[in-house]
């Protein structure tokens, strides 16, 4: 019969529904019925609406502004009108709404497509959208019969963009333009100058890449695949101010590293890369000011290696091993400083994060599971923070110490650790230690040994073998901890004393 039948009812809202195969009508409205349809799919002529009733059909519109290569234009001005009424306008169009974001989009708009007002025939609303960027403008009429993304192409200057498309092999007029792109990435780089963008379209590029100038290389995500030459790195970065964006890098036999950044690499960015099968996903050696974001490394022996790196941010990334016999370390950091690891997911490695002789390191908001060692911070670093991480199903949890020099300014705060075979948190031979607001369950508890100026406060330790052990501590305090369901001692204090000017006693 009818898909939706409304009689003598008002303010009915139907949303996010598909109506099909109705034997009579998709909509039937009678006797002063009023309804609104939002993002509902139904036949245009499948409506019966009597003289006293009304149906308003509305859908969502997302506008996306792109250039001729269909790359997003961030900061474009946009205006949208619905039946000549302005519903969205940015500054260029005398409005205050935000310009397009990094993906060339504005927030979705709910617009009226058509109205059945006392009739089986709809009155059409007309929607128009205009975009302005760098002195160029495009206006389009928008069909709002369905919720959708309307892509508007604004023709802009393509100066400084070198195009690459593997489908263009053999073109005698090949010059790197949009119409005649180069067929390999290395040709694109060879013909680029500092500051240019090498735009690589979808395809398979069987070549290893050397980046020896200050360029941005942008692909189509996993549709742009670089397959490294045998016995070569996927991409070698040997220049400053390089950005690699939206690429997939696959290994060939003998290839060692997916992306290798040398000590010439300063102010480099790796974003939205997928690296598969290399023994080492990313290697940074002596590089400075490095940003890694939205990186995925699949089945490496070592996911990321940082050696002698100054200032690096690794965020929103996934390091996924296959089994701990092959996948040894997700993130290996040594002799570096000012390293932030944020919101990263690590699973199925022998060791998740190893950092040795590294200062000012922050590991926060991450998820670690199915590993032997979770977070190991060793050496004489200063300013070591591990906060708000979730660690599950590990042999060992968070460890700081293992050196005669000792670490300084250690903060372990707000972490959730569960299903840890041995200790959840172990701090050894360190100074100025704060272990605060952590939740520990199904583990061996918290152990602090041979440390000075140590506070262990507001932690919850539940269903563990040992609760809290403090051994050989000078100037320390344990307060406001909740310890319950412990097999052994809830708290052990051994060979400890208050220190001069240190924390008060327990």
On whether the CB atoms of residues 402 and 380 are closer than 8 A, the answer is no
| Residue 188 and residue 226 share a domain | yes
Q: Tell me how far apart the alpha carbons of residues 262 and 283 are, in angstroms, rounded to a whole number.
A: 8
Sequence-separated (6 or more) residues with CB below 8 Å from residue 12: 6, 33, 34, 35, 36
pLDDT of residue 56: 97
Q: Is residue 312 part of a domain?
A: no
Q: Is residue 114 part of a domain?
A: yes
- Three-state DSSP at 113 gives strand
**C-alpha 447, offset from chain centre:** 34
On whether the CB atoms of residues 330 and 319 are closer than 8 A, the answer is yes
Q: Tell me how far apart the alpha carbons of residues 336 and 128 are, in angstroms, rounded to a whole number.
A: 54
Q: Is residue 276 part of a domain?
A: yes
| Residue 146 and residue 182 share a domain | no
Q: Is residue 83 part of a domain?
A: yes
Q: What is the CATH number of the domain that holds 206?
A: 2.160.20.10
Q: What string of DSSP letters covers 198-215?
A: EEE-SEEEES-EEE-SS-
Q: Is residue 290 part of a domain?
A: no
| Residue 476 and residue 371 share a domain | yes
Residue 190 host element (H or E) = helix 185-190
Report the residue count for the chain. 506
Number of structural domains found in the chain: 3
| Residue 166 and residue 143 share a domain | no
| Residue 102 and residue 243 share a domain | no
Q: Tell me how far apart the alpha carbons of residues 450 and 404 are, in angstroms, rounded to a whole number.
A: 11
Q: Is residue 367 part of a domain?
A: yes
pLDDT of residue 498: 66
Q: Longest C-alpha distance within the chain, in Å?
A: 91
| Residue 222 and residue 334 share a domain | no
Sequence-separated (6 or more) residues with CB below 8 Å from residue 73: 65, 66, 67, 100, 104, 131, 133, 154, 156
| Tokens encoding 90 | 């940015």
Please identify, among 112, 134, 153, the residue that sits at the C-terminal boundary of a domain.
Answer: 153
Q: Tell me how far apart the alpha carbons of residues 412 and 431 are, in angstroms, rounded to a whole number.
A: 13
First to last CA, the chain: 77
| Residue 497 and residue 364 share a domain | yes
| Residue 458 and residue 399 share a domain | yes
| Residue 375 and residue 250 share a domain | no
| Residue 31 and residue 101 share a domain | yes
Residue 35 host element (H or E) = strand 34-41
- Three-state DSSP at 293 gives strand
Q: What is the CATH number of the domain that holds 69?
A: 2.60.40.10
One digit per residue, pLDDT tens: the chain, 506 residues? Answer: 789 999 999 999 999 999 988 888 999 999 999 999 999 999 877 899 999 999 999 999 999 999 999 999 999 999 999 998 999 999 999 999 999 999 999 999 999 999 999 999 999 999 999 999 999 999 999 999 999 999 999 999 999 999 999 999 999 999 999 999 999 999 999 999 999 999 999 999 999 999 999 999 999 999 999 999 888 999 999 999 999 999 999 987 777 899 999 999 999 999 999 999 899 999 999 999 999 999 999 999 999 999 999 999 999 999 999 887 778 999 999 999 999 999 999 999 999 999 999 899 999 999 999 999 999 998 877 899 999 999 999 999 999 986 555 678 999 999 999 999 999 999 998 889 999 999 999 998 999 998 888 899 999 999 999 999 999 888 888 999 999 999 988 998 888 776 544 444 44
On whether the CB atoms of residues 431 and 406 are closer than 8 A, the answer is yes
- What count of other Cβ atoms lies within 10 Å of the Cβ of residue 6? 21
Please identify, among 228, 257, 282, the residue that sits at the C-terminal boundary of a domain.
Answer: 282
Selection from 213, 242, 244, 208 nearest residue 226 by Cα? 208
In this structure, are strands 77-82 and 431-436 parallel, antiparallel, or unpaired? unpaired
Q: Is residue 309 part of a domain?
A: no
Q: Is residue 44 part of a domain?
A: yes
| Residue 115 and residue 231 share a domain | no
Query: Tell me: the pLDDT tens digits for 294-311?
Result: 999 999 999 999 999 999
pLDDT of residue 438: 98
Residue range(s) defining the domain that contains residue 10: 4-153
On whether the CB atoms of residues 276 and 302 are closer than 8 A, the answer is no
Q: Tell me how far apart the alpha carbons of residues 456 and 453 are, in angstroms, rounded to a whole number.
A: 10
| Residue 332 and residue 481 share a domain | yes
Please identify, among 153, 184, 203, the residue that sits at the C-terminal boundary of a domain.
Answer: 153
- What count of other Cβ atoms lies within 10 Å of the Cβ of residue 157? 10
């Amino acid at each position: 019969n009818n898909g939706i039948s409304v009689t003598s009812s008002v303010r009915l809202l139907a949303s996010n529904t598909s109506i099909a195969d109705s034997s009579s009508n998709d909509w039937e409205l009678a006797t002063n019925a009023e309804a609104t349809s939002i993002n509902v799919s139904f036949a245009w002529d499948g409506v019966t609406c009597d003289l006293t009733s009304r149906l308003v059909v509305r859908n969502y519109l997302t506008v996306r502004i792109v250039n001729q290569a269909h790359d997003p234009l961030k900061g474009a001005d946009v205006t949208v009108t619905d039946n000549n009424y302005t519903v969205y306008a940015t500054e260029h169009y005398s409005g205050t709404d935000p310009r397009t974001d990094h993906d060339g989009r504005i927030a979705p708009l709910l617009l009226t497509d058509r109205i059945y007002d006392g009739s089986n025939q709809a009155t059409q609303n007309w929607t128009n959208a205009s975009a302005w960027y760098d002195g160029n403008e495009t206006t389009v009429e928008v069909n709002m019969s369905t919720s959708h993304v309307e892509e508007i192409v604004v023709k802009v200057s393509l100066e400084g963009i070198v195009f690459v498309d593997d489908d263009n092999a053999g073109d005698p007029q090949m010059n790197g333009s949009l119409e005649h792109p180069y067929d390999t990435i290395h040709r694109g780089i060879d013909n680029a100058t500092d500051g240019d963008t090498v735009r690589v379209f979808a395809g398979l590029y069987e070549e290893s890449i050397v980046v020896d100038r200050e360029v941005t290389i942008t692909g189509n995500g996993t549709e742009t695949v670089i397959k490294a030459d045998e016995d070569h790195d996927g991409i070698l970065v040997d220049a400053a101010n390089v950005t690699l964006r939206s690429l997939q890098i696959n290994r060939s036999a003998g290839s060692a590293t997916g992306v290798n950044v040398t000590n010439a690499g300063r102010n480099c960015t790796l974003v939205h890369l997928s690296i598969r099968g290399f023994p080492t996903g990313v290697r940074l050696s002596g590089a400075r000011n490095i940003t890694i974001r939205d990186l995925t490394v699949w089945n490496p022996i070592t996911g990321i290696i940082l050696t002698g790196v100054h200032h690096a941010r690794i965020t929103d990334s996934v390091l996924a091993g296959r089994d701990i016999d092959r996948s040894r370390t997700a993130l290996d950091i040594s002799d570096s400083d000012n390293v932030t690891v944020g919101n990263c997911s690590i699973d199925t490695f022998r060791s998740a994060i190893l950092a040795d002789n590294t200062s000012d390191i922050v590991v926060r908001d991450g998820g670690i599971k199915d590993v032997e060692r979770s977070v190991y911070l060793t050496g004489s670093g200063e300013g070591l923070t591990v906060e708000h991480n979730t660690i599950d199903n590990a042999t060992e949890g968070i460890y700081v110490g293992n050196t005669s020099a000792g670490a300084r300014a250690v903060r372990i705060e707000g972490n959730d650790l569960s299903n840890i075979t041995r200790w959840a948190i172990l701090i050894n031979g360190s100074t100025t230690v704060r272990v605060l607001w952590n939740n520990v369950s199904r583990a061996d508890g918290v152990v602090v040994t041979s440390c000075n100026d140590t506070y262990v406060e507001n932690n919850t330790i539940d269903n563990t073998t040992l609760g809290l052990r403090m051994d050989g501590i000078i100037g320390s305090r344990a307060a406001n901890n909740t310890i319950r369901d412990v097999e052994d001692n809830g708290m052990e204090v051994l060979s400890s004393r208050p220190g001069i000017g240190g924390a008060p006693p327990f």
